[in-house]
Amino acid sequence: MARGVLIIEDEATLAKNMCIYLVRTGFDVVTAETAEQGFAELESFKPDIVLLDFRLPGMDGMEALARLRDRAPGIPVIMITGHGTVELAVEAMKAGAYDFLVKPVSLAKLRLLVERALGAERREQALSYYQKREAAAGNVDGMVGDSEPMRRLKARLAQLLEVEKGLRDADAPAVLIVGETGTGKEVAARALHFSGPRREQPFVEINCAAIPSQLLESELFGHEKGAFTDAKERKPGLVETASGGTLFLDEIGDLDLGLQAKLLKLLEEKTVRRLGALRDQKVDVRIVAATHRPLPELVAQGRFRADLYYRLRIVELSLPPLRDRGDDIILLARRFLGVQAARYGRGGLSLSPQAERRLLAHRWPGNVRELRNLMEQAVLLAPGPVLEAEDLHLGITGPEREAGPGVSVPAGGSLEDIERGLLHDALVKSGWNVTQAARSLGISRDTLRYRIEKHGLSARD
């Protein structure tokens, strides 16, 4: 579909030449001699871009630009002038113009600028789409799971978000997210950001374990030109990039002690200093950190600053391992199955009851990440529309597998029966010692108590 160009130019010959050239190169073009005529065409023609003369009869070009920006803020405007001064160009750009052309207009440059402006507009639209899509998928409501541990996590998030409604942006507390590898710590961080008051601002993430410490400092805090050998130009760090939004520091337990001191200063003073800079600058950024490492043990070993640990854990969110989430395993498996089936063009795939029982019986040492990768593999290798237990490639053979010390999962039966049997076996073997039974099952005592109540189990059974 041809893109529309509105030319507002009172020089008839120039307007005609630009119109003919742009039509020949594939654009739809409408012309107007005055600003008022241009505003009328703006409503009826609905152009994708406007070419606007600085000097028009009855209205100054800058005034016309301001009114255009008010009526159609998303449409790029290229100014045309016979007086190409730097001051005029700066004034136009500050007022919202995309660029400007100097008379006599080069038609080749005209086309180049029009195509460049329209390309920038498309990129902005695409960015807006992906930001909205990410926000929709990243909020608390988008977190999959209805198990007791997930309900507690969502309630904690909702409580935190409610408190933040009454805070200034700069007062948002740091958050520490802990949990095993693959439990979805980044998902929780995104949910916190995209459900909160900073949702329209940047969400910037960095994995502290993935970048050498000597490079990580520059990535986080930026540097001035000449700060070190390869610093050929000034570069803002990720802290500045995330200003107004959230900086997510994944694997914070791997952060170098020297950088921990700088991060503590950022948290306490809300300032950052680039490498090679002479003074600090204020920043407004919310810090969310995550780790699978036991930070209290690292503090005791002198590998993590105690003051930073206490500063980070003002709010601590603990993510449950997948093995503690019961039927969430099936909900997540179905979600991943649908996503991967759509990705690889294999719509209509489903899980058999036997496959779902196999998923529930697995221990999931890699947690949600392991499940997601497993479903992608299953979609790629599935021989038919229904995935059977053997299609999951979990490496389990025979009618039952060990679910923990002295506990087995029988083949057949419903998911409820399997879970009830697991719980009953563990409780009997431990003499109804909840702590020992929970340890043998690899779940918390709270989770075990909830499941005992859920299934109506008692020592009399």
Structure tokens belonging to residue 415: 């998911």
* pLDDT in single tens digits along all 461 residues of the chain: 678 999 999 999 999 999 999 998 889 999 999 999 999 998 888 899 999 998 888 887 788 888 888 888 878 899 888 765 556 767 777 778 888 888 888 888 898 888 888 876 565 554 444 454 554 455 666 688 999 999 999 999 999 988 887 776 557 889 999 999 999 999 999 999 988 888 888 889 999 988 888 788 888 988 888 877 777 787 888 998 888 899 999 999 999 999 999 999 999 999 988 888 888 888 899 999 999 999 999 999 999 999 999 999 999 999 999 999 999 999 999 999 998 998 888 888 999 999 999 999 999 999 999 999 999 999 988 888 999 998 898 854 333 334 443 334 444 445 566 777 788 888 888 888 888 888 787 677 767 777 787 777 876 65
CB 68 within 8 A of CB 46: no
Express each pLDDT in 160-187 by its tens digit.
988 887 776 557 889 999 999 999 999 9
Express each pLDDT in 54-80 by its tens digit.
888 888 778 888 888 888 887 889 988
CA distance 47 to 126: 19
Q: Could you give the 3-state DSSP secondary structure of residue 162?
A: helix
pTM of the model: 0.60
How long a stretch of residues is the chain?
461
Structure tokens belonging to residue 248: 């997510």
Q: In terms of DSSP H, where are the helices of 222-366?
A: 238-241, 257-269, 295-300, 306-312, 328-343, 353-361
* pLDDT > 90 in the chain, percent: 39
